[in-house]
Amino acid sequence: MFHLRKSRLCIWAVLLVVIFAAVPAKGQLCNLKVITDASPDFSDIPSFLRSATGAFPTIEEKCWALFYWVHIARRQTSPMILHGVEVTDPIRQFNDFGYTMCSTVAGINCGLWHHLGLPVRFWDVTLHTVSECFYDGRWHMYDNSMSAIYTLCDGKTIAAVEDLGQELGCPASDGKAEPGHIVKYHCLTATSANGFLTGADCARDLEQEVRCFKQSGLKLRTYYNNWDWGHRYILNLRPGESYTRFYYSLGNSPEFYVPNKGKDPESVNPRYRIRGNGVWIFRPPLTDEFFPVAVYQTRGAVLSPDGTIHPAESGTPAEVIFKVQGANIITSQRIRAAANRQSSSDRLEVWVSTTAGLHWTKVYQAEQVGSFSIDQKLVEEVNGAYEVLVKFVLYGATKADSVGLRDITFETNTMLNSKTQPQLRLGLNTVYVDIGDFLDSIVLWPELQGDKYRQYIVAEENIATEPEHQGWRGVMFAKEPGKEAFVIFRVETPRAIRRVIYGGRFYNRVPNGRIQLLHSFDGGNTWQLDWELTETEQPWDDIHFATVEDIPPQCQEVLLKYRLLSPQAGPTACSIYSVRMEVQHEVPRPEFHPFDVTFSWEEIQPDRSLVPRSHRQRIDRVPMRYTIDVGGVDHPIVKSLQVAWPEENAEVSYGYSDPRPGLGRKVLDFWQECGRNLLKGKPYTLSVEPNGAWGASDPERKKLTDGVVGSNYAGGTAMQYAAGFDPKSGPVEIVVDMGQPERVAALGIHLTAGWPWWDALKGEVQDEVEAFLSADGQNFQSCGKFQLNLFRRDIPINHMLPDDETARAWNYWLPLDPPRSARFVKFRVVPKRILGITEVQALDRLERRPFHLRVLLPDEEP
């Protein structure tokens, strides 16, 4: 029988009522949502899937929408490791991190597809990991690590893993059968057949991808899916509180990041600019009206009319606890306050807890006498938590008011994924704001490897853990076979519990093994079984969360038991990967109060200069919709989003920060499809011999019409696929003979560089290219100049930008409207650097059609 210490919460709650019951308090706002129609709702998996895929009628369209948004939400880099395993919970990864490797995002996709109701499979292939889902009678692979999708030879059906390495042939390869045919000729996200992936982390040619999918290297991992879920984004707001999410990093020192294997996860690939930071400012209003809402718990403390907290009685310690929730993962905290201590016998201490009050760490003890300031910075003590309790202990030895505290401020830094925060686009944007249930949450997410879980539990029996998580099996298991094994967690709440959601990820392989979830509301005297896992079929990777809502009135404590019954001991018999518990409880005065939402952004002007703007909206009802109209010439650079409880008597301007007009209309994306390249395999002449820099020679005059378009990355091996020229070469003319008159709908040229690597998306390209057509090879008519500098709105929605979101090499198009008939095509190129040309093209069709990547807001129907 286990023994638990008696809870003091009921005593604390009574004292609160006695001291403050006569004063009406304005309530806490819970479960806020601020989302736009420019990006999905990443609050939880159901919200994300509904917003990202709900507007699309077919499962294939839904899977493409998921592929697109996952491409936006993560980058290929060293994966974020927490609790010994890579983070594969989509909501945790999308909100806080964005650092994934192939196995990480393959597991994320398995979880998302599962919630769409699709069967999934997890594959290790040669030096790579992918996953696939099942619909329309077959398997389909979406590789979000390399941002790659392949089709069968019909050009429509998304291929499966086992299709990719097969030896096939079709008209796309002129009938030639070869291994990896689908990868080489039917990639929807490549520069061309036999070309390069456009959305990868570096220059990756399709031949390299073929080697990944050799039939001999395919290993279906039937035993696990490397998935996880259960996290949700919890954003609450109280009087005196504001939270600003900055869509960029605020610094590189430890207070701004959760370390990944001991270092800043951003440092591996700073070019991705993934990490942003958030800043919470919480100044608890120390007034009779607001104090009951601002404080989490208090015992033996009183509030003076001047806003000073001190003990109610001398000789008896008083405690005041404040709670800070990060919404995003917390990286550091700064605690400031004004204090007084009249003698050395008086005591003032500050303690913090990241285990919901189960364990406390002292971080400050006053040594000064008289009036002084507290300014305590915390990093290691709070880093990696989502909620922190801060406890002030005050003790007046001979007089109650000989020690006091006032003017308290908590400044808390968080880490966030800058790619997934609510976005704005050029033109009209709809902002949707709402709140959820008036319920606060206490979340336990303990690390299970080694003995780190012990700071969260109140009892255990026959439990063993591995010192390091292996990832593919559970880490917590029965020490001895045939004996009951369990761990018990306790969650105490400051007010009545309304809902409990608990569960985790489980491994059950041994016959007659079982894992159970149980709860107790009477201190462990009786237990209620909520769920049991007895199946032993593969994969041994089950995730389940139980929801309990039948709760005794005014109950403020719940025990949660994870129980294992196994005829064998060890992690490969019956074990637990991870657990998560969320207990939702009432808040004081559950009543709506207006709050402010402020977006800040920079508008891009025709000359690429940036104009800072902002918009502040008073949210006086929920749900609420309003419009932000963004001006300029391209999608803006969003800098920050703030939610704030309005300050009393503050002079605040609402609406736009200036009278500049917006675009006044909604801007849609476009979907681009290219027809047949009429120049493939055709002979051409060069007016200047290539300089050969970094292998950029072309003695056989075949590179520029071999049908292989180069990489979207400059440098490295890029020039080996190109003919190279420089300013010393002077203008170069490339003339291609198609052999007969053809109808030309668009002309194209792919440019790369040896140096410098100018970025077209930053307007840096200074080279010039003009195109001409001729019927006889003598008289050429200009078709105009290529626009070699780009805006984000110029990028087709189905073109995956590389992970660093640059255009240092690019395949440019010059549409001809109407199409023209010609036999000869000439490109006149004026290089202003060491320039490479990998391919010239003439298309018989270039189709661009409007595409609405519709994000479904919560109050909208498909």
| 355/502 same-domain check | no
| 408/448 same-domain check | no
| 483/546 same-domain check | yes
How far apart CA 39 and CA 420 sit, in angstroms, is 7
Identify which of 830, 809, 689, 691 has the alpha carbon closest to the alpha carbon of residue 753.
Answer: 809
Question: What range does the domain containing 57 cover?
Answer: 33-220
Asked, for residue 648, whether it belongs to a domain, the answer is: no
What is the rounded (10 degree) CA torsion for 715, 717, 722, 726?
A: 40
| 468/412 same-domain check | no
Q: What is the pLDDT of residues 290-308, one digit of tens each?
A: 888 899 999 999 999 999 9
| 400/345 same-domain check | yes
Q: What is the pLDDT of residue 26?
A: 63
Burial of 654 (0-12, 13-18, 19+ CB in 10 A): exposed
Asked, for residue 561, whether it belongs to a domain, the answer is: yes
* CA dihedral for 433, 434, 439, 441, sign (positive or negative): negative
What CATH number is given to the structural domain containing 158? Answer: 3.10.620
What is the average pLDDT score of the chain? 95
Burial of 273 (0-12, 13-18, 19+ CB in 10 A): middle
Asked, for residue 645, whether it belongs to a domain, the answer is: no
Distances (CA, A) of 6 to 15, 331, 492, 573: 17, 33, 11, 36
Asked, for residue 684, whether it belongs to a domain, the answer is: yes
**Strand intervals (E) in 273-325:** 275-282, 297-299, 301-303, 309-311, 318-325
Asked, for residue 430, whether it belongs to a domain, the answer is: no
Identify which of 634, 643, 636 has the alpha carbon closest to the alpha carbon of residue 601.
Answer: 636
* CA dihedral for 38, 39, 43, 47, sign (positive or negative): positive
Identify which of 774, 595, 520, 411 has the alpha carbon closest to the alpha carbon of residue 32.
Answer: 595
| 397/447 same-domain check | no
Q: What is the pLDDT of residues 625-677, one digit of tens each?
A: 999 999 999 999 999 999 999 987 778 899 999 999 999 999 999 999 999 99
| 760/793 same-domain check | yes
| 407/521 same-domain check | no
- The H or E element that residue 749 is part of is strand 732-755
Asked, for residue 748, whether it belongs to a domain, the answer is: yes
- The H or E element that residue 824 is part of is strand 810-830
Domain boundary among 362, 381, 416: 416
Q: What is the pLDDT of residue 3?
A: 44
How far apart CA 504 and CA 468 sit, in angstroms, is 18
Asked, for residue 556, whether it belongs to a domain, the answer is: yes
Domain tally for the chain?
A: 4
Q: Which residues of 565-580 are buried (b: 16+ CB within 10 A; e: fewer)?
A: bbebbbbbbbbbbbbb
Q: What is the pLDDT of residue 648?
A: 76
CA angle at 620 for the pair 95 and 493, rounded to the nearest 5°? 55
Average pLDDT along the chain, 862 residues, taken 10 residues at a time = 40 30 61 98 98 98 98 98 97 98 98 98 97 98 98 97 97 95 98 98 96 96 97 97 98 98 95 98 93 93 95 96 98 98 97 97 97 98 98 96 97 98 98 97 97 96 97 97 98 98 98 97 98 97 98 97 97 98 96 96 98 98 98 98 89 94 97 98 97 96 98 96 96 98 98 97 98 97 98 97 97 97 98 98 98 96 90
| 162/45 same-domain check | yes
Which pair of structure tokens corresponds to residue 577? 């990967």
Side-chain half-sphere exposure of 660, counting CA atoms within 13 A: 19
| 840/736 same-domain check | yes
Asked, for residue 613, whether it belongs to a domain, the answer is: no
| 111/190 same-domain check | yes
Residue 20: helix, strand or coil by DSSP? Answer: helix
What CATH number is given to the structural domain containing 354? Answer: 2.60.120.1020
Distances (CA, A) of 574 to 465, 541, 580, 796: 12, 11, 18, 49
| 408/481 same-domain check | no
What CATH number is given to the structural domain containing 805? Answer: 2.60.120.260
